[in-house]
Amino acid sequence: MTGSTSADVGILVLRVVAGITMAAHGYQKFFSGGRISGTGRWFDSMGMRPGRLHALAAATTELLAGIFLAAGLLTAVAGAAFVALMLVAGYTVHRANGFFSVRSGWEYNLVLATIGVAVAVTGPGRYSLDHVLGLTGPLSGSTGLLIAVAGGGLAGVGQLVIFFRPSTVVNNA
């Protein structure tokens, strides 16, 4: 393989694996375990209210962002969704547990958000729908970085500011 072909194949593998992983998270919220109603109750319990709304939003965003990243379609926007999703998950669920994922820390969230940013910056490569549609150049590089980091960061922080209301009950027993 030539250098550019190797890079294109490498980005393809990264996009597909990360995209399928994210899409699987959304799929399981819709179709596994407690489904949307159970996920909604869990979201309510952690302070993301209304829980059902956030369960639907998270499941839909994870599913679509994963599919879009895997396909290389609107890759910078998918990268922004990865950043927003992982920022919210890292803050609401994993922050108190430290860094390492073995202790349910935010390590995994950081890796997925970083993949979203990296692919938004580099572009999805030759083997992508963005390439076929001529969107690779206009939506990558510094534009991709801005979309993924600023767009995803603002979306995640905005969601936390508006909707995150953890319980303030303190148990002194």
Residue 8 has pLDDT above 70, yes or no: yes
Identity of the amino acid at 99: F
35-71 residue pLDDT tens: 999 999 999 998 999 999 999 999 999 999 999 999 9
**Percent of the chain predicted with pLDDT > 70:** 95
C-alpha span between 166 and 49 (Å, rounded): 9
Average pLDDT over residues 12-34: 96
Residue 137: band (very low, low, confident or very high) from pLDDT cuts 50, 70, 90: confident
Number of H helices, E strands in the chain: 8, 0
CB 149 within 8 A of CB 84: no
**pTM score, two decimals?**
0.92
- Give me the phi and psi of 164, to 5 degrees please: -80, 110
Residue 164 has pLDDT above 80, yes or no: yes
Q: What is the average pLDDT value for the chain, to the nearest integer?
A: 93
Residue 119 has pLDDT above 60, yes or no: yes
